[in-house]
A and B are shown apart, each in its own frame.
Chain A
Amino acid sequence: MRVISFFSSLVLTVGLVYVLDTRTVVPVPMGKLLSPQEGIWQNADDEQSSNNESVKMADLKGKTEVYFDDRMVPHIFSDNERDAYFVQGYLHARFRLWQMEFQTHFIAGRLSEIVGDKALELDRKHRRMGIVSSAEKTLEMWKEDAEVNEMCTAYTDGINAYIRSLPESKLPVEYKLLGYRPEAWTNLKSVLFFKAMTMDLAGGDNDFEQTNLLRILGEKDFRMLFPESPDSLSPIIPKGIAFNQSADIPTLPSDADSVYFHRRDSIWFTEQFKPDPDNGSNNWVVSGTKTLSGKPILCNDPHLGLTLPAIWFEVHIKTPTSNAYGVSFPGLPGVVIGFNDHIAFGFTNAGRDMKDYFEIRFKDESKSEYWFEGAWKKSELRIEQINIKGSKPFMDTVAYTVFGPVIYDQSFQDRLKQNKAYALSWIAHRPSNPMRMWYQLNRATNFDDYLRALEHFNEPSQNILFASKTNDIAVKQEGNFPLRWEGQGQFVMPGFDSSYMWKGYIPRQDNPFVFNPEQGYISSANQRPVDSTYPYFIPGNYDMYRGISINRRLSAMSNITPQDMMKLQNDNYDVFAEQLRPILSRFVERSMLSTEANAYLRKLEEWDLNRTADAVGPTIFDHWVDSLSKAVFSDELERNQLPTMSPKDYILAQYLIRDSTSFKFIDDIHTPEKETLSGLLITTLEKAALQLKNLEQDGRLSWGKFKNTTIYHLLRTSMLPFARAGLQTGGGENIINATKHNHGPSWKMVIHLTTPTEAWGIYPGGQDGNPGSRYYDNAAEDWAKGSYYKLWVMKPEERNDARIKAKMIFQR
């Protein structure tokens, strides 16, 4: 009896321990997770304690002191270059380790290892894009550059030193919740992080949609709805500046008309997991002639997906050769956007088409041979093993052709039949050494240094903005751009003929560039960089209205102060609505509208065109214009149910303003009668009014409530308690303040190049990636309000300043 009783209690105890220690019965190991000595409670940072620590390590060269200010920004003072980046790596890991590893797993196609088979299709796509193999090639290039190699290796060593010092109990909570451990960091992971940025910024294209559109619309209408150089463009390079052409345009292949421009084939699938087309940015600089102080002011706000932990980590690094302050990427050493004692630098995305697809015909399902230049050519096969949490590994075979890897074939995205496949040529496949550029920019003292730094930057192409204390300002759209014949790469290209391949790059000296322009300011906002006089063919996904707004405002300003620039970054004025609203007002027949629609129309007309959080005008305008745009275009564009895309907002505005009544797309091709603009405006406003009424009943008619700006945790909706939801913000698409639901200014910076430098900045989040820290999202509210923090370029002699909250010393 006693034996039975003992054994039953033993089984119960062991059973309970098993349940609470593993994930087999309940989804999380409650005992392990809740143990105050090793579980999540260990991640609850003591708000009172300070980080006074001393780290001794044999692989340090000298001494580095780190002072954390009241926003947890580390000020790193190092007596040698190598240790500075070691410490930066150590600190990135300390505050952002989980994020760094997650983002590099994401781009390397390894998310399934962590989250299971729900990430398999995404992982397959990233593997098939050839990201890892191109990262390996890029790493070789970084290795050959002694300073870059030392910087990256020191950075990696710093991360790994932190990982080694990390007891199980202090693992970031995400590891504890998902049940895995960090692996060692490598230089390859830094390259992978960089490739993730290329993915975000130069990983988008619409070749498949455009191929379908060309077929549906014909060439003339396609050019009308998707023009290269639209009328209202306000380019980065001021109009009137002459361009050089030092390379010949490649000749159009002789059969381009029949096999390329007039192909009759359709593409039935839609690409999954495309980067957000809104990824972009604003930057501008005003020269001393336009400022109150007589010194330039440089401003930058990169628009990216808003996440917690944030994409950026603020840092100040002082070494014997550099005193750089700004934001860094957890994953890369150095300061990416910022300033030093002499200059400031900022980035916006060039948005040019850097990705082309080639249609491949395989001989058979083995994918080992494809038709090229009149013969069967061998492809290289790379086997990708994707490990999946909770199931067997998935093996994928990726064929590499002369163009690049084949992403889509009969085994991936299942609609492709008859051995048809699409290979990808992508700028990210070519090695590049951006770390060399950043290394030099962090140390640049003048305009020549800036130009020399840019020589090393190949991709993802950027508008790189510059200002110096000696009153020089400049921007260059820098990168390697394929030298294209007119129309090349806008549509899927034939893969059997080498004459369709990329043939070299536009010479770097012909890249759009301006230095100290007479107008006294330069701006870029992802618009087409140049007007139609530029000699090269440069397709892209360009923005329109932010550029117009910024240039309009800057040209009218004088005696500018940094506060004016902050106001401009938070400007909510809507130029698109300014252009389109008068047309809507003029052509809508009020007498035909319901009382409700009329009430919304009145509210729209009373709106002051600023997209503030409390305005209702933007919500009404967007619903009406969405419905109108669909009514105008979808009958034509969607008539064959092929995947396509809509023309940009400015196209609708341009044609409704220019030929309000005769714009041919107004007619619905599915009805016998001829529709008019007035008629469409009534039906679309009535349709919008129904949606608006529902929103109003839910209390979500105001722009801020409707938009509901939310900063998600990187695990998105599966980790909502770690998100910051419902921030009330103004701005939006087409607006200088580009804050949308989950996208917008990921860092706002204003640098006044006085001596000493005055600088302000803020990003939506906080320095610490730990959801158990006050510094996890401490800046979110101020960011939403449009406030800034004064950036403190700490001097070594200020080490006793009251702002210092903690200190760390690193030495051998």
Chain B
Amino acid sequence: MKLFISAGLTALASFAVGLFFPWWSLAIAAFLVAFFSKRTSLESFLSGFLGVFLLWSIMAWSISSCNDHILAHRMSQVIIKNDSPLLLVLLTGLAGGLCSGLAAWCGTGFRRLFKED
């Protein structure tokens, strides 16, 4: 449960900073969420990953659905040489998720430099 709360918080924070800053600001958001939470490194990575993986996948999928996947059909052939909107959505989630997961892990590591949890 705690894991999902962290994931939700990461997603929310990532989305909010993404409105004003470049895409990689999500890493800072995930880092901060992890820094202020009491988690193990693994928990942090998983919640960070899950939060942005879901955020990016769901956003991409919903944008793409409203577009009848016209763009995704073409772009998936450009980027993954394969006509598959779903794969492109999953790749999107993976890219965001990995950054967020690593940054969250990093945030927990930073916390441990100061605090004994």
Query: With A and B bound together, what is the CA distance between A595 and B18 in angstroms?
Result: 71
| CB-nearest residue of chain B to A30 | B95
Say yes or no: B68 contacts A41, CB within 8 Å: no
> Which chain B residues border A44 with CB–CB below 8 Å?
63-64, 66-67, 70-72
What are the nearest 7 A-B pairs in CB distance? Answer: A772-B71, A721-B77, A6-B109, A35-B23, A44-B67, A36-B59, A44-B71
Known: A31-B23, A31-B99, A177-B78. 14 other contacts (CB 8 A): A2-B109, A5-B112, A6-B109, A17-B99, A34-B88, A37-B23, A38-B22, A40-B75, A41-B63, A46-B66, A173-B71, A719-B78, A720-B77, A772-B67
B106 CB to nearest chain A CB (Å) = 4
> Which chain A residues border B63 with CB–CB below 8 Å?
36, 41-42, 44, 46
- Asked whether any CB of chain B lies closer than 8 Å to the CB of A9, the reply is yes
Cβ-defined partner of A47 (8 Å) among B66, B75, B113: B66
Query: With A and B bound together, what is the CA distance between A48 and B65 in angstroms?
Result: 11
B residues 66-117 with Cβ under 8 Å of A?
66-68, 70-72, 74-75, 77-79, 88, 91-92, 95-96, 98-99, 102-103, 105-106, 109-110, 112-113
- Asked whether any CB of chain B lies closer than 8 Å to the CB of A357, the reply is no
Q: Which residues on B are within 8 Å of A, measured CB to CB?
A: 15, 18-19, 22-24, 27, 31, 41, 56, 59-60, 63-64, 66-68, 70-72, 74-75, 77-79, 88, 91-92, 95-96, 98-99, 102-103, 105-106, 109-110, 112-113
B58 CB to nearest chain A CB (Å) = 9
Interface residues of B: mostly helix, strand, loop or mixed? helix
Say yes or no: A45 contacts B67, CB within 8 Å: yes
> Which chain B residues border A173 with CB–CB below 8 Å?
71, 75
- Asked whether any CB of chain B lies closer than 8 Å to the CB of A149, the reply is no
- Asked whether any CB of chain B lies closer than 8 Å to the CB of A338, the reply is no
B16 CB to nearest chain A CB (Å) = 11
Cβ-defined partner of A13 (8 Å) among B60, B67, B106, B112: B106
| CB-nearest residue of chain B to A8 | B109
Q: Take A21-B24, A35-B23, A37-B19 as given contacts and tell me if A721 and B96 are in contact as well, using a CB distance cutoff of 8 Å.
A: no
Say yes or no: B96 contacts A13, CB within 8 Å: no
Say yes or no: B59 contacts A5, CB within 8 Å: no
Say yes or no: B74 contacts A772, CB within 8 Å: yes
Query: With A and B bound together, what is the CA distance between A173 and B41 in angstroms?
Result: 38
Say yes or no: A16 contacts B102, CB within 8 Å: yes
Q: Take A44-B67, A46-B66, A772-B74 as given contacts and tell me if A35 and B96 are in contact as well, using a CB distance cutoff of 8 Å.
A: yes
> Which chain B residues border A35 with CB–CB below 8 Å?
18, 23, 56, 92, 96
- Asked whether any CB of chain B lies closer than 8 Å to the CB of A700, the reply is no
Say yes or no: B18 contacts A772, CB within 8 Å: no
> Which chain A residues border B113 with CB–CB below 8 Å?
2-3, 6
Q: Which residues on A are within 8 Å of B, measured CB to CB?
A: 2-3, 5-6, 9-10, 12-13, 16-17, 20-21, 28, 30-49, 173, 177, 719-722, 770-774, 776
| CB-nearest residue of chain B to A177 | B78
A655 CB to nearest chain B CB (Å) = 49
Say yes or no: A40 contacts B112, CB within 8 Å: no
> Which chain B residues border A9 with CB–CB below 8 Å?
41, 102, 105-106, 109
B113 CB to nearest chain A CB (Å) = 6
Query: With A and B bound together, what is the CA distance between A125 and B106 in angstroms?
Result: 53
> Which chain B residues border A38 with CB–CB below 8 Å?
18, 22-23
> Which chain A residues border B74 with CB–CB below 8 Å?
721-722, 771-772
| CB-nearest residue of chain A to B76 | A721
Query: With A and B bound together, what is the CA distance between A774 and B72 in angstroms?
Result: 12
Listed A/B pairs (7) with beta-carbon separation below 8 Å: A3-B113, A30-B95, A35-B56, A36-B92, A44-B72, A49-B66, A719-B78
Say yes or no: A40 contacts B71, CB within 8 Å: yes
A611 CB to nearest chain B CB (Å) = 31
> Which chain A residues border B78 with CB–CB below 8 Å?
177, 719, 721-722
